[in-house]
């Protein structure tokens, strides 16, 4: 599905990622872990095409997309939910969701029912302004907007950060449902060991811009987390 090979990426002269190799297989949920500032978001942005890599290749769905625009990647089925609930506060929930259709490859004009089934609260709040939703609901809206285009690969940048526990459980359930449907792969940034072992199939730990550990999530131990993630 996604294959990153010997990737180098950064901002201007400042190189953030070095020799990054990462794979997401079809239907897999992969968790990217690492301390603050090690380059996790930079990797997500590079996968989405918002930052051009300086070296290495990115293959998605069997095609080389190393130099493809973000728009082409989105239309090719990559959905991106950036950190910090990037919704439009002045637009209604429905208008926010309709914007997600822009990324749709097959010119869909309707919001799929499955999106409301996954997030019933959004159906209830369809006419409310995005800015009137709670932080957790805004995060749900942000994920729902990416799902509207029915992506094949969903990138989630710290979806659980700063969210109340009840909504964390709902979002976790959504990821579980996505996983069970086997229609989508997910790459998510997440710091919690409990969550990573419960939901992800595979994990990568990034440190100082390079992958320092990887494996099946079931083998992820407290010791490894302490070694690689403790501040
Ligand atoms: N637009 C930018 N221009 C220059 N440097 C940047 C920019 N964005 C991030 N950086 C730097 O790149 C490095 C990696 O940042 P990045 O946001 O990818 O880390 P992260 O692992 O996602 O951290 P966090 O968990 O805090 O979000 C940091 O040193 C950061 O200061």
Q: DSSP string covering 111-125, please?
A: --HHHHHH-HHHHHT
Kindly provide the ipTM of the predicted complex, given to two decimals: 0.95
Q: Is 16 in the pocket of ligand 1 (CB under 6 A)?
A: yes
Is 80:155 a contact under the CB 8 Å cutoff? yes
Higher pLDDT: 55 or 109? It is: 55
CA gap 137, 65 in Å, rounded = 33
Q: What span, in angstroms and rounded, lies between the C-alpha atoms of 204 and 133?
A: 33
Pocket test for ligand 1, best of 9, 34, 40 (most atoms within 8 A of CB): 40
Which pTM value belongs to this model?
0.93
Instruction: Kindly give the number of the ligand 1 atom that is closest to the alpha carbon of 83.
Output: 27
Residue 197: pLDDT band (50, 70, 90) is confident
140 lines ligand 1 (CB under 6 A): no
Question: Residues 98-127: what's their mean pLDDT?
Answer: 87
Half-sphere exposure for 161 (CA within 13 Å, toward CB): 14
Confidence category of residue 68, pLDDT binned at 50, 70, 90: very high
State which of 7, 10, 38, 42 you would mutate to test the pocket of ligand 1, scoring each by most atoms of that ligand within 8 A of its C-beta: 42
pLDDT digits (tens, 9 = 90+) for 135-157: 999 999 999 999 999 999 999 99
Residue 56 and residue 228 in contact, taking contact as beta carbons nearer than 8 Å: no
Q: For each of the domains in the chain, give its residue range(s) and CATH number, in order of start.
A: 2-84+151-229 (3.40.50.300)
Could you tell me the distance, in angstroms and rounded to a whole number, from the CA of residue 72 to the centre of ligand 1?
Answer: 24
Position 54 confidence tier, pLDDT thresholds 50, 70, 90: very high
Confidence at residue 230, expressed as pLDDT on a 0 to 100 scale = 66
Q: How far is the CA of 18 from the centre of ligand 1 (A)?
A: 14
Residues 34, 191: Cα–Cα separation, whole Å: 7
Cβ of residue 77 lying under 6 Å from some atom of ligand 1: no
Mean pLDDT rounded to a whole number for the chain: 91
Is ligand 1 within 6 A of the CB of residue 106?
no
| Residue 142 vs residues 64, 68, 160: alpha-carbon distances, Å | 28, 24, 12
Q: What is the whole-number distance in angstroms between the Cα of residue 144 and the centre of ligand 1? A: 25
Q: How far is the CA of 37 from the centre of ligand 1 (A)?
A: 5
Measured from the CB, is residue 167 less than 6 Å from ligand 1? no
Higher-scoring residue by pLDDT: 158, 226: 158
């Amino acid at each position: 599905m996604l294959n990153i090979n010997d990737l180098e990426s950064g901002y201007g002269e400042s190189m953030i990622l070095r020799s990054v190799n990462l794979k997401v297989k079809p239907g897999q949920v992969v968790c990217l872990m690492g301390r603050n500032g090690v380059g996790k978001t930079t990797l997500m942005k590079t996968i989405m095409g918002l930052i051009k890599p300086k070296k290495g290749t990115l293959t998605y769905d069997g095609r080389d997309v190393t130099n493809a625009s973000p728009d082409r990647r989105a239309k090719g089925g990559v959905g991106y939910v950036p950190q910090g609930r990037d919704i439009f506060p002045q637009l209604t929930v429905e208008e926010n969701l309709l914007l997600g259709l822009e990324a749709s490859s097959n010119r869909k004009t309707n919001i799929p029912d499955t999106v409301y089934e996954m997030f019933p609260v959004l159906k209830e709040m369809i006419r409310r302004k995005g800015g009137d939703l709670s932080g957790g609901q805004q995060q749900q809206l942000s994920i729902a907007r990416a799902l509207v285009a029915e992506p094949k690969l969903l990138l989630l940048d710290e979806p659980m950060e700063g969210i109340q526990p009840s909504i964390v459980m709902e979002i976790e359930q959504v990821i579980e449902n996505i996983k069970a449907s086997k229609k989508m792969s997910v790459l998510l940034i997440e710091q919690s060991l409990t969550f990573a072992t419960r939901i992800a199939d595979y994990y990568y730990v990034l440190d100082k811009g390079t992958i320092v550990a990887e494996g099946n999530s079931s083998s992820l131990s407290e010791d490894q987390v302490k070694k690689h993630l403790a501040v």
